[in-house]
Amino acid sequence: MSKRIVAITACPTGVAHTFMAAEALEEEAKKRGHWIKVETRGSVGAKNALTSEEIAQADVVIIAADIELDLSRFAGKKLYKTSTGAALKKTAQELDNALTTQNTFKGNSASSSHAGKAELPGVYKHLMTGVSHMLPLVVAGGLCIALSFVFGITAFKEPGTLAAALMQIGGGAGAFGLMVPVLAGFIAFSIADRPGLAPGLIGGMLASSAGAGFLGGIVAGFLAGYSARLVADNVKLPQTMEALKPILIIPLISSLITGLTMIYVVGGPVAAAMSGLTQFLSGMTSANAVLLGIILGAMQCFDLGGPVNKAAYTFGVGLLASQSYLPMAAIMAAGMVPALGMGVATFVARDKFTEAEREAGKASFVLGLCFISEGAIPFAARDPMRVIPSTMAGGALAGALSMLFGCTLMAPHGGLFVLAIPNAVGNVLMYLVAIAAGTALTGLMYALLKPAMEVQEA
């Protein structure tokens, strides 16, 4: 029997998983004869937005999201929550689960967060919500700082110049100054909804001013979020005063708990840890740098946009605020390798791939150029035992070489297109060598490991 399905897809970066999961859901639903419309919450906002009429007529709502979303408009509907990765890799299974769900969504609160069986673990989802809101600031700030270097590496020190203005916009007084508060604020927002936002922002600002960096921001965000939720669940007021809780009681008490804890308990040790990490990175020997590059590169290529990949990516993004630009360069170099490598494999071993796979390889190569490692997912889903080791080997090599050559990166996204911005990438030529070496290793390794088509089909 034909069903009417509406869905939302959203991943932390709002680039690849968001749209690939939407396409997978649409194809699977249409193949079964169902009507479906998917709203994508990408990096440029909502596209293909659902109307109230479409929601009212829907038999089921699918939320494939790795970040927290406002779901209040779906109250009273059957709702199934999952991740973008599951929607992309296990589309048929997730659609079956959604169509058989008996969960009726009652509101947009923490207590309603179990309206589905495949929802992401809470801590990871809250962290990714914070990271997704922080990313635009990192990108804009990093590129503004890079543009200021066009006029000379120290030109920004001259007051009143355009270089100084660009540094002010991107640096501590502008985008980079907002990074940690926004990270903390939206972690808290994900946990406790709007009442958590103010204490999260305050805690993040305190972490930033204390020198605790992104580690302090993460601590402040979770502290603010869970303290706000604790107050919301345990402070009982007369019905006539209940409206004061979200705008007065919760923000005030949670801000005091978060602020005092950050100042007197957490701030100092976390700031010391952050300082130690920054000093370690800036004083790394070649051997240490290569080892870190191997670890970050392999993590970036392990699950192609999954939790391990995002952990490495978050680490690199967070360090940008501390002017540590080496890890981010290694991470982006490695992140380009899986999709580029699959494109190379389909070219050098054409006889081992079907025509459809060769076309997918071309698309994968283009996605790789854009730093979208998810382009390799169709290959990994079909042949994980050969694809994943190949991508990890290439990613580890790219990350190691990037660190060895001392390559730096000011912006956490954009792939090779960032090279068009002067000074956004340090040591450009050797950076290209690192990416090319990793790509070649992945492509050739998979081309050798993959059996011929007649053997595979037997």
State whether residue 311 is helix, strand or coil: helix
- Mean pLDDT (whole number) for 82-107: 86
CATH homologous superfamily of domain 4-112? Response regulator (3.40.50.2300)
For helices 16-31 and 91-100, give the axis angle rounded to 10 degrees: 70
The yes-or-no verdict on residue 454 having pLDDT over 70 is no
Rounded-to-integer distance, Cα 401 and Cα 290, Å? 7
Residue 427 to residues 241, 315, 422, Cα–Cα distance (Å): 61, 22, 11
Q: Which residues are catalytic?
A: 11
User: What is the H or E stretch that residue 426 is in?
Assistant: strand 425-426
For the chain, the domains span 4-112, 122-277, 286-457
Rounded-to-integer distance, Cα 330 and Cα 407, Å? 8
* Percent of the chain whose pLDDT exceeds 70: 94
Confidence of residue 251 (pLDDT cuts 50, 70, 90): very high
Tokens, residue 17: 């998983």
- CA angle 164–168–170, rounded 5-degree value: 115
What Rg, from alpha-carbon coordinates, does the chain have?
23
Rounded-to-integer distance, Cα 13 and Cα 70, Å? 17
pLDDT of residue 44: 60
Confidence of residue 94 (pLDDT cuts 50, 70, 90): very high
Strands 60-65 and 4-10 come out as parallel
pLDDT of residue 210: 87
pTM of the model: 0.74
Rounded-to-integer distance, Cα 157 and Cα 148, Å? 10
Pick from 215, 227, 211: nearest CA to 259: 227
The yes-or-no verdict on residue 214 having pLDDT over 90 is no
pLDDT higher for 389 or 213? 389
> At a CB cut-off of 8 Å and minimum separation 6, what does 39 contact?
6, 7, 8, 9, 46, 47, 48, 49, 50
User: For 395-404, what is each residue's pLDDT tens digit?
Assistant: 999 999 999 9
Tokens 């890890």 -> residue: 327
Pick from 70, 73, 98: nearest CA to 83: 98
pLDDT of residue 45: 66
Tokens 């034909």 -> residue: 2
The yes-or-no verdict on residue 120 having pLDDT over 70 is no
Kindly give the residue spans of alpha helices, DSSP state H, lying in 321-427: 326-348, 355-369, 377-382, 384-404
User: For 44-75, what is each residue's pLDDT tens digit?
Assistant: 667 888 999 999 999 999 999 888 788 888 98
Strands 45-47 and 79-82 come out as unpaired
pLDDT of residue 456: 45
Confidence of residue 121 (pLDDT cuts 50, 70, 90): low
Pick from 112, 80, 82, 115: nearest CA to 98: 80
Tokens, residue 6: 């509406």
Structure letter (DSSP) for residue 264: I
- Mean pLDDT (whole number) for 168-187: 90
The yes-or-no verdict on residue 201 having pLDDT over 90 is yes
pLDDT higher for 53 or 89? 53
Tokens 């890799």 -> residue: 89
Rounded-to-integer distance, Cα 76 and Cα 106, Å? 6
Rounded-to-integer distance, Cα 391 and Cα 337, Å? 7
50 Rama class: left (phi>0) / alpha (psi -120 to 50) / beta: beta
